[in-house]
Amino acid sequence: MTQNFLSSKAIPNRERLIMALDVPSIADAKALVEELGDAVIFYKVGMELFMAGDYFAFIEWLKQHGKKVFVDLKFFDVPATVGRAIRALSGRGVDLATIHGNDAVMAAAAREKGQLKVLAVTALTSLDRGDLDDLGFQCDVKELVLSRARRALEIGCDGVVSSGLEVAMLREYLNDRLLVITPGIRPVDNREEDDQKRVVSVAQAFQNGADYIVVGRPIRDAEHRREKAEQIQAQIAEQFA
């Protein structure tokens, strides 16, 4: 029987669903948030909305509406620049933020994070073995993920972003010390046009040890979006019953 690594962290169940606001405009994002209402509490605000303008005003709007915010901009630059960016972000009431890069980048972010929780990206869920070969990584995907997660923990990051396929391994070797946020959640079978390759279901992600899941298009593209979000919330509640 596969070992169950269900999260023991004191996180309200309904906050474990993070909705990815991957839409082209702030107006679209606000309309979606209002449509979902209390079905979603936590939102990921990424690069697409950053380029739409009024990004930080929108973050303030989310906070005013009682939402939690995950800034997913994957900061990657020289360490001093990343450190200053994280310091600036920490004063905006953001809950989670992603960084990319080597030990020096992670260390700079950890020093400046304040109350903000910093997450290191391990390997994007859009990458498979062939992609890593093209990028020059000779190690196995799981070895890469575990190595980056270990370094992030040692350096002072709060957690990692990791495919649900690798979360159980992280829990086996690193116990419950890291926050693990799992994107690439697919409540139904993948469609051919889907660019995510290393995906898992809601139940599998949490049984493998995820603390949070990030869901985007299964809710965004649903005919009844609030209903779909509530269905996923019910699946989460069932795991922690």
Q: What is the pLDDT of residue 134?
A: 57
Cβ-contact 208, 168 below 8 angstroms: yes
Annotated catalytic residue: which of 30, 63, 74, 117? Answer: 74
Domains of the chain: 14-239 (3.20.20.70)
- Tens-binned pLDDT, residue by residue, of the chain (241 aa): 357 899 999 999 999 999 999 999 999 999 999 999 999 999 999 999 999 999 999 999 999 999 999 999 999 999 999 999 999 999 999 999 999 888 999 999 999 999 999 999 875 544 455 555 555 555 577 787 888 899 999 999 999 998 888 899 999 999 898 999 999 887 654 444 444 444 689 999 999 999 999 999 999 999 999 999 999 999 999 999 9
What is the b/e burial string over 109-137, where b = at least 16 CB atoms within 10 angstroms of the residue's CB?
bbebbeebbbbbbbbbbebeeeebeeeee
Q: What is the pLDDT of residue 23?
A: 96
Q: How far is CA 11 from CA 27, 32, 38, 199, 240, in A?
A: 30, 24, 16, 23, 11
Helix (H) or strand (E) holding 70: strand 68-75
- Taking the complete model, does pTM exceed 0.85, yes or no? yes
Q: Is 67 a catalytic residue?
A: no
Q: What is the pLDDT of residue 192?
A: 45
